[in-house]
């Protein structure tokens, strides 16, 4: 895949391990000039050796213009991205990346609750630092399997906002485990919730919040790796392109994006997991089987757009605005 037009070449200035499975990469301009600015919660696309493109959250504060920091978890279910970052990308290497974009921005609030699961701590680090510098009210809950698996632990414990951080380990004493219903209760009328991490963790936090009456517009989330049912498996169906009348069969083992790309259509694809929204396409007819983690429930209910990289169809045919 070719890089987007808004891309730049950076150098891996430092690479070190936060845990046995999480590598921290410091990226900077080879010339030493400032990098494009970003906002807390932003991420970049990284174009990897072999052609894969993966998204990684920036985990440093947006006031740092001389570097980008990304934390990469080596995943046992990696589709090649994290393994390439760990095994092939070394200090001194040059990488092509996109300029930062933010699908997980902070919103003004009287109080903010953060819930991070595992590597989901990365975008929340910059958010917490920004709120801390503003003197804003917030609380951060960080859940990990164990101390050995908790990346950025020292950074959190020595931060200016350490009194607002609560660490929860699965193998810790029962009294230290996250009491989610209690933690979701707030004395502030204007409170926003941010959650990031594995899909199961996010489903738990968001489901509990909704059960307690949290409105959807106060809940903000970002997933790592797409939804649990994302993928190309499923029944075959047809895709009709409205502008040309062409009809394509989407086999059970192929995605809509793959079939259209093979047919010569220019479908912008980045994460291939329904996380980034790059490939969003308008739907004119048919019922969509949404498998992304980008659209909200309300947006999915409208049935007027979908992510062809991973979503499929419930109806025998869907018609796209292509």
pLDDT digits (tens, 9 = 90+) for 61-73: 999 999 999 999 9
**CATH, range 7-98:** 2.40.30.10
pLDDT for the residue 3 = 43
Residue 21 has a pLDDT of 92
Express each pLDDT in 271-305 by its tens digit.
677 767 778 999 999 999 998 867 777 888 999 99
For range 131-153, the mean pLDDT: 95
Return the closest-CA partner of residue 135 out of 165, 105, 107, 160. Answer: 160
Looking at residue 298, its pLDDT comes to 82
The structural architecture, per CATH, of the domain 111-223 is 3-Layer(aba) Sandwich (3.40)
| Ramachandran category for residue 199: left, alpha or beta (phi over 0 → left; psi -120 to 50 → alpha) | alpha
**Distances in Å between the alpha carbon of 66 and those of 11, 38, 160, 211?**
12, 12, 22, 43
Cα dihedral 248, 254, 260, 262 sign? negative
Answer yes or no: are the C-beta atoms of 61 and 129 closer than 8 Å: yes
Model pLDDT for residues 156-182, shown as the tens digit of each residue:
999 999 999 999 998 888 888 999 999
Q: Which residue has the higher pLDDT, 150 or 81?
A: 150
Whole-prediction pTM: 0.75
Alpha-carbon span 169 to 69, nearest angstrom = 25
- The CATH 2.40.30.10 domain(s) of the chain lie at 7-98
The mean per-residue pLDDT over the stretch 1-18 comes to 80
- Label residue 230 by pLDDT band (50, 70, 90): very low
Residues of the chain with CATH 3.40.50.80: 111-223
Share of the chain above pLDDT 70, in %: 92
Cβ neighbours, 10 Å, residue 33: 9
Residue whose tokens read 């926003």: 192
Q: Answer whether residue 78 shows pLDDT above 80.
A: no
pLDDT average, residue stretch 75-88 = 75
The answer regarding whether domain 237-320 maps to CATH 1.10.1670.40 reads no
Q: What residue has token string 């933690």?
A: 183
CA 57, CA 63: separation in Å to the nearest integer?
15
Question: How much is the pLDDT for 198?
Answer: 86
Q: Where in the chain is the domain with CATH 3.10.20.30?
A: 237-320
Q: Which of 193, 225, 197 is nearest to 209 (CA)?
A: 193
281 contacts 322 by C-beta, under 8 angstroms: yes
For residue 233, the model assigns a pLDDT of: 61
What pLDDT was estimated at residue 270?
Answer: 67
User: If you count them, how many residues does the chain have?
Assistant: 322
């Amino acid at each position: 895949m070719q890089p987007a037009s808004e891309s730049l070449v950076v150098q891996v200035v430092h690479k070190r391990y936060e845990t046995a499975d999480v590598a921290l990469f410091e990226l900077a301009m080879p010339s030493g000039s400032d990098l494009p600015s970003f906002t807390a919660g932003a991420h970049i696309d990284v174009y990897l050796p072999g052609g894969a493109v993966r998204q990684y959250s920036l985990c440093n504060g947006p006031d740092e213009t001389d570097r980008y920091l990304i934390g990469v978890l080596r995943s046992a279910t990696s589709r090649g991205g994290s393994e390439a970052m760990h095994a092939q990308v070394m200090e001194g290497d040059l990488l092509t990346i996109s300029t930062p974009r933010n699908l997980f921005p902070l919103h003004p609030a009287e109080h903010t609750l953060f819930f991070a699961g595992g590597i989901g701590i990365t975008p929340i680090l910059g958010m917490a630092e920004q709120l801390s510098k503003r003197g804003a009210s917030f609380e951060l809950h960080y859940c990990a399997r164990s101390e050995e698996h908790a990346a950025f632990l020292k950074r959190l414990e020595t931060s200016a906002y350490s009194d607002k951080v609560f660490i929860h380990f699965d193998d810790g004493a029962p009294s230290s485990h996250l009491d989610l219903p209690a933690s979701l209760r707030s004395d502030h009328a204007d409170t926003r919730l941010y959650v990031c991490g594995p899909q199961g963790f996010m489903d738990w936090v968001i489901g509990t919040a909704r059960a307690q009456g949290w409105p959807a517009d106060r809940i903000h989330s970002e997933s790592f790796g797409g939804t649990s049912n994302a993928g190309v498996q499923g029944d075959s169906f047809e895709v009709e392109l409205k502008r040309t009348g062409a009809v394509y069969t989407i086999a059970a083992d192929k995605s809509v994006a793959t079939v259209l790309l093979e047919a010569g259509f220019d479908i912008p694809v980045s994460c291939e997991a329904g996380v980034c929204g790059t490939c969003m396409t308008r739907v004119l007819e048919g019922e969509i089987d949404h498998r992304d983690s980008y659209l909200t429930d309300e947006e999915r209910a409208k049935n007027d757009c979908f992510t062809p990289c991973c979503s499929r169809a419930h109806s025998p045919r869907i018609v796209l605005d292509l």
